[in-house]
């Protein structure tokens, strides 16, 4: 069963259960003379209507995008949630108004045991139904179903107030019913306000929660090829999330940049639920220098001799060349910890150098079609061959004017 079918099933179950409760509460209310039960039955009838509204919202949001609505109809759910919030607020108003009236018109109930049983059944079924709808709504990230579940959860307070009122009448404490109704209305108003606020935020394209943005940012930052995240925006539309991001990469090849974009989108969708679309804008990395790496047999500064074997080099010299005035910014040497390995030393050395975010590797021997080459190529590191014997000669070949 698909996700869409699952939330529709939850809504249909809600309609059936709520309609059943409305009927038995109305019958028990008439037989006992309990105004609270009759009012609760009418309230349940409005829940049936609101659940039909959720079903209609889900149906509309399922429609595929059209030329006039290229982003789909997902916000239909949020519109339904907005009306449900208003319905909850109206229900709260009715409860507090009726409760105030009952304070001035005390009535003795009849058939109280029947009314108590029905009130208990209503409370139990309403509580179970609210848990079910909230569970499915959160699992599917369906705002209208979550709103409907919260509405049903608010109904448990109403059912509790009705039960307390009936028990109070049975015990001779007649004012408990209207007092409980006033207390319940406070919870109902709060629930309605939260749903109203969330619905308006989505309809106005407000950002998703910061913790979710941080999770998305963490996923992107782990991706090889992403040097910097310049912009990240995400909004909700119905149960779905739309993401827009701008990143910097040192990938110069258009095909590799496109592959990076696809990889990011697939990774986000695999780890974040209900992501509908990821729009990615890729900018070339803005660096003021070019970073080189050269294998060496010694560490004596720019006089160091270049190794004839990449994987067996004792050191790697890494230097940065400023792009605007050909100035050497920094030289450093790192020890090659893999030079004594029997196998895969070139591969391991290449993986180590890639972590330094190189732009170009210069060697005496060509690494073309060898494992280090594929590591460098995958990281978009350019490979070159030189006849120079020392780092100083390579620096001179690069046209560097001065050393800082």
Domains in the chain, ordered, with CATH?
3-203 (1.20.1510.10), 210-284 (3.30.70.1350), 289-403 (3.30.420.130)
Residue 235's pLDDT is what?
86
Token pair for 313:
């080099």
Give the HSE-up count for residue 317: Cα atoms under 13 Å, Cβ half-sphere. Answer: 25
Contact 199, 81 (CB under 8 A): yes
Residue 119's pLDDT is what?
83
Residue 362's pLDDT is what?
93
Burial class (CB within 10 angstroms; exposed 0-12, middle 13-18, buried 19+) of 2: exposed
Query: With a cut of 70, which residues of the chain have pLDDT below it?
Result: 1-5, 7, 33, 35, 42, 46-47, 49-58, 60-62, 106-109, 143-144, 174, 176-178, 180-181, 184, 187-188, 191, 239, 252-253, 326, 398-404
By DSSP bridging, strand 402-403 and strand 228-237 are unpaired
Contact 39, 94 (CB under 8 A): yes
State the first-to-last Cα distance of the chain, in angstroms, to the nearest integer: 66
By DSSP bridging, strand 228-237 and strand 240-249 are antiparallel
DSSP-derived letter for residue 359 is S
Task: State how far the Cα of 222 lies from the Cα of 232, in Å rounded to an integer.
Answer: 15
């Amino acid at each position: 069963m698909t996700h869409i079918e699952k939330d529709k099933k939850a809504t249909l179950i809600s309609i059936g259960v709520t309609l059943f409760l409305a009927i038995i509460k109305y019958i028990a209310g008439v037989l006992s003379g309990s105004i609270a039960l009759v009012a609760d039955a009418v309230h349940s009838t409005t829940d049936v209507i609101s659940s039909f509204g959720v079903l209609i919202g889900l149906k509309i949001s399922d429609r595929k995008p059209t030329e006039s609505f290229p982003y789909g109809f997902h916000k239909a759910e949020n519109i339904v949630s907005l009306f449900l919030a208003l319905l909850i607020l109206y229900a709260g108003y009715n409860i507090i108004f009726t409760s105030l009236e009952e304070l001035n018109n005390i009535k003795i109930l009849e058939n109280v045991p029947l009314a108590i049983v029905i009130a208990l059944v209503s409370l139990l079924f309403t509580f179970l139904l609210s848990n079910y709808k909230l569970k499915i709504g959160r699992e599917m990230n369906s705002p209208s179903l979550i709103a409907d579940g919260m509405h049903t959860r608010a109904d448990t307070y109403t059912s509790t107030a009705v039960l307390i009122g009936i028990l109070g009448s049975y015990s001779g404490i007649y004012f408990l019913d209207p007092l409980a109704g006033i207390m319940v209305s406070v919870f109902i108003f709060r629930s309605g306000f939260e749903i109203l606020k969330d619905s308006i935020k989505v309809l106005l394209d407000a950002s998703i929660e910061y913790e979710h943005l941080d999770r998305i940012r963490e996923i992107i930052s782990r991706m090889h090829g992403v040097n910097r995240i310049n912009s990240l925006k995400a909004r909700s539309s119905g149960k779905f999330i739309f993401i827009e991001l701008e990143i910097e990469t040192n990938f110069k090849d258009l095909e590799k940049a496109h592959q990076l974009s696809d990889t990011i989108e697939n990774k986000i969708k695999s780890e974040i639920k209900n992501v509908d679309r990821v729009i990615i804008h890729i900018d070339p990395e803005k660096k003021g220098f070019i970073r080189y790496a050269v294998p060496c047999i010694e560490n004596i500064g720019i006089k160091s001799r270049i190794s004839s074997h990449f994987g067996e080099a004792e050191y790697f010299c890494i230097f940065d060349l400023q792009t605007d005035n050909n100035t050497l910014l920094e030289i450093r040497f790192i020890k090659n910890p893999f030079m004594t390995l029997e196998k895969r030393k070139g591969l391991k050395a290449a993986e180590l150098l890639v972590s330094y975010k190189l732009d170009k590797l210069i060697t005496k021997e060509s690494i073309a079609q060898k494992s280090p080459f594929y590591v460098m190529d995958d990281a978009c590191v350019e490979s070159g061959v030189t006849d120079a014997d020392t780092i100083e000669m390579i620096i001179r070949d690069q046209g560097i004017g001065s050393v800082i």
